[in-house]
């Protein structure tokens, strides 16, 4: 399903200010917070990373996602997600992973990017809210972990930002979204941020 997505990057020092904004808007928590783990795949040339950096549209990301503070080997509920982006429009295909170690050890074949390998693990806490007909997720305590040492030198990096994503399935709501949330929209990719923080040139 396509949806509009509006991202806001906020430094941790402005966290209280943003939550005060949420309180004034009478935001309601709709799910319990949880830990999200995403293992991002890319080919040997990191083409998905560069396509995202350059703003190529449409573009794609491939990731394994699972939940909780467990290792992927201890978690049988792992999803393969293919995420497509075009401007502010996002769509996602999701399916259960049945050959987990095959993909982790030998890669995932993509018709556009060829053989893609697990590159980085992004871990964070996500909180879920709703304001009117907009869904808001707030991601904090973000960690970037070098998954397989592929072209990366650092092992783990934490950042002092938290990321707000505002979503709506009505593609005609983009103007209302920007009025409801008077913050600067940013292009933010956790995968790209992980590469930027873990790679050494």
Tokens representing residue 62 in the block: 């491939």
Full pLDDT tens readout for the chain, 201 residues: 567 777 888 888 888 889 999 999 999 999 999 999 999 999 999 999 999 999 888 889 999 999 998 888 777 789 999 988 876 677 888 999 988 889 999 999 999 999 999 999 999 999 999 998 889 999 999 999 998 766 677 788 898 888 988 888 776 777 777 788 888 777 788 999 999 999 865
Which residues pair with residue 168 across a beta bridge? 4
Domains of the chain: 3-198 (3.20.100.30)
Q: pTM of the predicted model, to two decimals? A: 0.88
Task: Establish whether the linkage from the previous residue to 58 is cis, with ω within 30° of 0.
Answer: yes
pLDDT, residue 143, reads 94
Beta-carbon count within 10 A of 85 CB: 21
What b-and-e string marks burial along 156-183, b requiring 16 or more CB atoms within 10 Å of the CB? ebebebbbbbbbbeeeebbeebeebbeb
pLDDT, residue 153, reads 72
């Amino acid at each position: 399903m396509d949806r509009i997505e509006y991202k806001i990057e906020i430094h941790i020092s402005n966290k209280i200010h943003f939550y005060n904004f949420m309180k004034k808007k009478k935001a309601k928590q709709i799910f319990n917070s949880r830990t999200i783990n995403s293992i991002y795949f890319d080919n040997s040339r990191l083409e998905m990373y560069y396509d995202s950096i350059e703003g190529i549209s449409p573009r794609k990301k491939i990731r394994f996602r699972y939940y909780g503070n467990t290792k992927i080997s201890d978690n049988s509920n792992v999803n393969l997600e293919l995420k497509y982006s075009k401007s502010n429009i996002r769509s996602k295909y999701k399916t259960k992973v049945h050959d987990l170690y095959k993909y982790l050890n030998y890669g995932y074949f993509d018709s556009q990017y060829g053989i893609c390998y697990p590159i980085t693990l992004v871990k964070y806490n996500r909180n879920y809210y709703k304001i009117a007909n907009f869904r808001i997720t707030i991601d904090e305590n973000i960690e970037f972990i070098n998954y397989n040492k592929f072209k990366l030198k650092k092992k783990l990096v934490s950042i002092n930002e938290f990321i707000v994503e505002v979503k709506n399935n009505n593609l005609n709501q983009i103007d209302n979204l920007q009025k409801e949330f008077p913050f600067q929209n940013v292009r933010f990719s956790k995968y790209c941020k992980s590469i930027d923080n873990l790679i050494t040139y």
